[in-house]
């Protein structure tokens, strides 16, 4: 089932923590902060993004296990502000882009400069740079000879993984995003969404007849689709997609077929850490957000605890390695979860522990004839009221998740204020071998999302600013060299930039990192892109024309 994971527009009523700090200015540490970080560089960074996770979600997950501390608790370091350039409440694309690129951008755009800025503390983009693709941390790491990885539980084209490996005016351009990700040069990619790579009649299958799994294999990747094959991979260049669309929630997955978030994280670390120069790994706990949208407290618990296990695996590696920083942030919070239980923790746990699955886990099996038995067997809800039973019947025709969530919630004192994103600050969890945190870098306990990116640049010694000048430049620069430029749309779904000057002929396929110069195919250091009918190419491509 294809799930709607975001809702456009801004909820008129948002839950926000009223903490005041400096705005966009916090993104740039002053000289004293930079000096404080000297000598604290690390070789590896593991960045977790817990999509949609609020501190209330963490609180619920903690009480689910009897109030015992979570692994993340000891690493809580501060709060992060997440607003976009055009919105108090951000979506995942803009929120994750801030972590990937160090720039706040417009909602629903993927790693490109904004063409709309209405929020305070943010300088408008010069007209000539609007929608310009932005280099990401993955680009910087890759070009410095380090290894890169992206792990997630959603589809590969979903907003957060997309922001680290692709660029688009809309997060909905999955067709383009999937191809860009295949040609991105990332070393390890693990998650869901195999249907996005292959031709077929399904909604998300490719319509151009191109099988991108063949491209991966011809580029030296091992492509796997089940847990057994993942654990037996023999190469350090691996793509693993373990479901046609998103992976199942942790409470629901078949451990014989699908790896858990922890297992994918461990495999990625094992592969990437073989590079002596170091690595960058982004791990997204994708579906906390989805269960927030659907107001399912069991789903929120499932995915928050799954993240906590993966986070512990990363911390265990970092402490043993001694040269790795581990961070966890959210792109935003979702659902506005509230706990108003005046009973004991035992009362709450005794009910929630009886839930065998998330609401997604019974989809396809529950129907109007068996719903009472299904809810009794899977949620220990044998005593539905007449009103609750009628709500379930309606939910079966529309969306059952929030119905089940409300029935459970009323028994344990858990409710949601919205089915949308909320604008509250989210939690920052951080480990550094020398205890140098993003809050030290920003000199504030409440930081901006882009501060996290700037911090990663500092502790790794990487710099994105120089790449912003060379990795993506306007395709019009070919014309300044006296060349003619046309767009070859012979294959309408795979356009090609055609450049001619004298006897030279250059072809640059859109969404790929290859060039055909005078009949010879070479690999480029960046993708060729078309965004809002404007072309963007690497300076390396420009330099091919003499």
DSSP secondary structure letter of residue 97: H
Spell out the alpha helix ranges (H) of 72-173.
92-101, 137-143, 159-165
Using an 8 Å Cβ cutoff, are 155 and 192 in contact?
A: yes
From the list 428, 424, 433, the residue with the least C-alpha distance to 452 is 428
Which among 54, 56, 87, 92 is annotated as catalytic? Answer: 92
CB atoms under 10 Å from CB of 300, counted, come to: 33
Write out the H or E segment, with its range, that includes residue 171. Answer: none
The two three-digit tokens of residue 217, written as one number: 């294999």
Give the E-state strand segments of 297-389 in sequence order: 324-329, 333-334, 337-339
DSSP secondary structure letter of residue 69: P
**What are residue 60's phi and psi, to 5 degrees?**
-65, -45
From the list 301, 267, 295, the residue with the least C-alpha distance to 281 is 267
Nearest 5°: CA angle at 518, between 212 and 476?
80
80 three-class SS: strand
Give the E-state strand segments of 244-315 in sequence order: 279-285
Using CA atoms, how far apart are residues 427 and 440, in angstroms rounded to an integer? 15
Q: Which residues of 204-218 are buried (b: 16+ CB within 10 A; e: fewer)?
A: bebeeebebbebbee
Our answer to whether residue 92 is catalytic in this structure is: yes
In Å, what is the CA distance from 195 to each residue of 212, 213, 250? 10, 10, 21
DSSP secondary structure letter of residue 123: P
Query: Annotated active-site positions, please?
Result: 92
């Amino acid at each position: 089932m294809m799930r709607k994971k975001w809702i456009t527009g801004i909820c008129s009523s948002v839950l926000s923590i009223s903490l005041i700090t400096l705005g966009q200015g916090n993104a740039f540490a002053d000289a004293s902060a930079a000096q404080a970080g000297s000598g604290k560089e690390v070789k590896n960074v593991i960045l977790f993004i817990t999509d949609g996770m609020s501190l209330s979600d963490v609180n619920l997950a903690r009480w689910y296990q009897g109030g015992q501390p979570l692994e993340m608790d000891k690493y809580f370091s501060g709060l992060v502000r997440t607003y976009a350039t055009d919105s108090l409440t951000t979506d995942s694309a803009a929120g994750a882009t801030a972590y990937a690129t160090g720039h706040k951008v417009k909602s629903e755009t993927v790693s490109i400069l904004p063409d709309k800025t209405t929020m305070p503390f943010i300088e408008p983009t010069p007209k000539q740079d609007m929608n310009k693709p932005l280099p990401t941390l993955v680009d910087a790491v890759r070009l410095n000879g380090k290894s890169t990885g992206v792990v997630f539980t959603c589809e590969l084209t979903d907003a957060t993984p997309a922001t680290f490996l692709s660029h688009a005016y809309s997060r909905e351009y999955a067709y383009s995003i999937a191809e860009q990700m295949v040609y991105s040069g990332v070393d390890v990619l693990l998650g869901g969404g195999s249907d996005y790579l292959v031709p077929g009649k399904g909604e998300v299958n490719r319509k151009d007849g191109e099988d991108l799994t063949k491209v991966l294999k011809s580029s030296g990747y091992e492509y796997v689709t089940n847990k057994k094959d993942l654990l037996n991979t023999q190469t350090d260049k691996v793509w693993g997609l373990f479901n046609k669309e998103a992976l199942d929630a942790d409470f629901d997955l078949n451990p014989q077929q699908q790896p858990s978030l922890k297992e994918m994280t461990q495999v990625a670390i094992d592969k990437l850490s073989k590079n002596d120069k170091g690595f960058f790994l982004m791990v997204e706990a994708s579906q906390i957000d989805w269960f927030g949208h659907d107001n399912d407290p069991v789903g929120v618990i499932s995915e928050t605890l799954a993240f906590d296990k993966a986070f512990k695996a990363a911390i265990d590696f970092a402490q043993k390695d001694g040269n790795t920083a581990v961070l966890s942030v959210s792109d935003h919070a979702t659902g506005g979860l509230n706990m108003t239980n005046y009973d004991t923790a035992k009362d709450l746990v005794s009910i929630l522990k009886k839930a065998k699955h998330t609401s997604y886990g019974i989809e396809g099996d529950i129907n109007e004839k068996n719903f009472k038995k299904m809810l009794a067997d899977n949620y220990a809800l044998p005593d539905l009221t007449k009103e609750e039973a009628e709500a379930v019947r309606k939910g079966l025709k529309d969306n059952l998740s929030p119905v089940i969530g409300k029935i459970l919630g009323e028994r344990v004192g858990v409710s949601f204020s919205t089915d949308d994103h909320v604008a509250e600050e989210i939690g920052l969890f951080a480990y550094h071998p020398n205890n140098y945190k993003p809050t030290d870098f920003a000199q504030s306990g409440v930081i901006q999302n882009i501060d996290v990116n700037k911090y990663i640049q500092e502790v790794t010694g990487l710099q994105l600013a120089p790449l912003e000048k060379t990795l993506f430049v306007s395709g019009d620069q070919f014309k300044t060299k006296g060349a003619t430029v046309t767009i070859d749309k012979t294959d309408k779904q795979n356009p090609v930039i055609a450049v001619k000057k004298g006897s030279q002929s250059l072809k640059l396929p859109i969404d790929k990192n290859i060039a055909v110069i005078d009949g010879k195919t070479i690999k480029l250091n960046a993708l060729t892109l078309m965004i809002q009918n404007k072309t963007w190419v690497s300076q390396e491509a420009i330099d091919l024309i003499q």
